[in-house]
Structure 1
């Protein structure tokens, strides 16, 4: 047995700042954060403290361990907040009797802030090379009462009364058992669970991991209108958070709680949800193997996150030429005919006998078909073990850009076919042809040339060759070298005389396509009136599609992006081309 010794131990812990009020509530002063570093997946996170870095929501509730699913989770509110000696200090008004009693007994002393970051700075610890991330702009949204705070200095302020006491210095095993029981009790685990950990010789570190896992299993997910137990919803929030971490997009309320987590954290959450035990103590190799090769839904989460990044980059890089075309998806890869009708001729006078005459609607058709474009990428086992989601994010972003570039090239190739005259139409003549009344004499764009082009479109006739359909131009499409000229032509000018007024100001939308030959310019109608180009996707898979499988050529996982896309010209009446002076 160890020697006896005398030391001063805390006999009572009473919140010195706690003040009860006549309405049954009480106020207490708490340190919300000191910005202490907290280890996250793959980096150490710190919070910059000070008025230049931190803002506060107008109404900040005091919650039960960040739960936000019902009014029962609200334990009070934040009444005042200030900066004090490198810390954020607040006055909390506690209205929940059970929470107040726990604080008064000293059972609950920890607090934690729920926040949203809008700016941060990444770096490296000079001592150990560990990646660091400092939140330089962040907003406190709520304050929670928690059993174990991430910032050990974030506590309810208390007085500690010291009483002399003679005790027996416990040996190491007794200390470990006591610590494990304290950890389990703070995390809300049962005495039986604590006994199980002690019986199997768990270390304090393993006990903390089990306690974290137990608290995560009980933690509700913020979901509006859907059950928090719905795996698809939870998985969607995880995927959204992964994608938002990479793209910088603003996450939804449900996804915000997963922001900053790395791939390994998401693997643990998915494995825990699927019923795996001992997840928190798994090494990186075992974690990746279990997450990618069992009933865990982590591969689906990863695919969803990758798809979100693909679509975000794809939409940001979409070709302006899609604005002048009409989308017509196809059910398969067979050649399709895009039927265009000539419209109704003028209405006929009804005879005195009430007879309505039949009319014939002329129609014609142009053909186009889909083709498949794809690329494949392997994410190695080493990348997964090293928790480098950014590698997949880079591929997904590049895949989205590549899909948009593929569409752009195909749409552009339609206009540039046959040395810029376009493809042959059903009448045997090129899209842009003098007989179609949509080909101008080479000239630089100016008010006179735009006026002549607009007139040519206005006098176009329907397929009957007689009825004027009065096509109105909407888009001015120019090569890159004419961008400034196009902006000048469409700019609003305050003219001193009527003759100096710009007739095209506010009437045309400028689109710039760098792939067009120098000097070339076009007018296009609104495709809702007369579509010139048609493009489409496979009906069952519009846009780029991302899929994955266990790697065969690589030890890891393979991702593939596939685009089923086609484009063609379907009507010459909605466009006008001028080759420009460069030709």
Structure 2
């Protein structure tokens, strides 16, 4: 699909779209897509009923994978941004998604992956795309159960308790072949070519449980960061104003003062590719070793979460250099304590004051409200004590920060003494992390094993993180 003009929206626009999503009870992920593709807030409100209808139609279709749902939402937002009415946008989105069945989610990724088999949606659940979706749904349910995740099978309920050998048998027979036993069926399903329906169903199931697992097991630091997507790997910068945008008084018959908007802000996330590989033997598949396949999924999930945590912490841990040539946390930015101290009413108060009194490039007061107290595990107890609700004996004993800040304990922070105050990323720009727009979750690729009999899986993910604003975070180096 066409990417259109995709830019990181302002925190205010993003928050407005997410509020509409909450009111309309459709996914916030769709709100993000609409904001990024330039759908006006008022247009999103008008189209709310149609947006809910899109989600209902996606839920009602068992042929749509998670990747196809994402594509449908992107098409829908693109159609709205182009001025189409809601009903037309829904129809275009669903038709476009159905037309992309079986296409590679990797097809536009630079330097990694390769094409996958493309086909049209069939009318039968007994062969082709329909059968593959049933097997994928059932296998997803089995893997999810093993990993402690939720996935209720729909079209693939009969496959949720079936042995993998029997799955391979049914899929191979659907092509007209006649294997004599499960072992031969697996060899035919796995060894014939890398785009067999059995292989695609298996990798699709792994992608599904990875997506669910990443949503359920997010790193703490992710709470303090805003998520977005990028259309490509090119360097770009956030938008900035050349002059103050505060409305000025207009004298009678006077002229309105205009400002210019251009890319003079901080650098947006620049995507980087990450990958890892694992393998499952034919013997394990034939013996219905779902635990081994689940182990592959769990290992991929852990690896993806580790990588996401590392990427999101890099701008913090390295104290990245901003566009003005200074470190992110620097006295000149007003976001670094002059002297270190442990979290306490006084030190936290100084940090909160620093955020609230931050000014923009033209001297305007930003009035940033603190939301999170971010600490390493060594400071968890004292941080919880600072924000704990108290029952004071006297007015002087009242804790001014009770209920004001949420403690985030991030084990990836390596300095045991340093701590941070951060604003709500839904309201104020700060730390941003991004994936490629067709890789919101990791992509799983597979092929027959070359040096061993079985399947080889490769996890690929493009992501990055960066600070795009210095005024919304504050660091105290501790003692």
Which TM bucket (shorter chain)?
0.5 to 0.7
Match for residue 274 of structure 2 among 373, 383, 399 = 373
Q: Is the 8 A contact 1:267 1:298 kept in 2?
A: yes
Shift of 1:539: 2.2
Deviations 1:318-371 (A, max 9, x none): 222222222232222233323455895432122222632334568422354222
- 2:395 maps to 1:495: no
Contact in 1 for aligned 2:165/2:183 (Cα 8 Å): no
Match of 2:190? 292
Secondary structure of the residue that 1:424 maps to in structure 2?
A: coil
Q: 1:375 to 1:234 in 2, by over 3 A?
A: same
Q: Say which structure, 1 or 2, has more relative contact order (CA 8 Å, 6+ apart).
A: 2
Aligned positions of 1:375-524 closer than 5 A: 375-417=276-318, 422-440=319-337, 441-464=339-362, 466-516=363-413, 517-524=415-422
1:207 matched residue in structure 2: none
Q: Distance in 2 between matches of 1:261 and 1:235?
A: 9
Within 2, Cα distance between the matches of 1:262 and 1:288? Answer: 11
Deviation at 1:415, TM superposition (A): 0.8
SS in 1 for 2:273: strand
Larger Rg: 1
Where does 1:148-547 land on structure 2 (aligned, <5 Å)? 230-231=130-131, 233-248=133-148, 249-277=150-178, 282-293=180-191, 297-340=197-240, 345-353=245-253, 355-359=255-259, 363-366=264-267, 368-417=269-318, 422-440=319-337, 441-464=339-362, 466-516=363-413, 517-547=415-445
3-state SS of 1:366 partner: coil
Asked if the contact 2:265–2:468 (Cα under 8 Å) also holds between the matched residues in 1, the reply is no
* 1:390-435 CA-partner distances (Å, limit 9, x unpaired): 2121011111111110111122221111xxxx11111111100111
Contact 2:242 2:260 (8 Å CA) reproduced: no
In structure 2, the residue matched to 1:553 is 451
Match of 2:41 in 1: none
Q: Structure 1 or 2: larger helix share?
A: 2
Question: Using the alignment, how far apart are the partners of 1:323 and 1:531 within structure 2?
Answer: 13
Partner SS for 1:427: coil
After TM superposition, the score normalised by the length of structure 2 is 0.67
Where does the alignment leave 5 or more consecutive residues of structure 2 unmatched? 1-122
Q: Cα 1:515–1:290, aligned 2, differ >3 Å: closer, same or farther?
A: closer
Q: Does 1:574 align with 2:475?
A: no
Deviations 1:32-60 (A, max 9, x none): xxxxxxxxxxxxxxxxxxxxxxxxxxxxx
Does the CA-based 8 Å contact 1:460-1:469 persist in structure 2?
yes
Q: Supply the distance in 1 between the matched residues of 2:308 and 2:137 (Cα, whole angstroms).
A: 30
Distance 1:290 1:366, change over 3 A: closer
Cα distance in 2 for residues equivalent to 1:322 and 1:392: 28
Unaligned runs of 5+ in 1: 1-225
Q: CA RMSD in A?
A: 2.5
In 2: Cα distance, 1:250 partner to 1:535 partner: 27
Distance in 2 between the 1:304 and 1:239 partners? 9
2:341 and 2:329 map into 1 onto residues whose CA distance is 16
Give the total of aligned pairs.
Answer: 348
Label 1:247 to 1:468 Cα distance change in 2 as closer, same or farther (>3 A).
same
- Equivalent residue of 1:337, what SS? coil
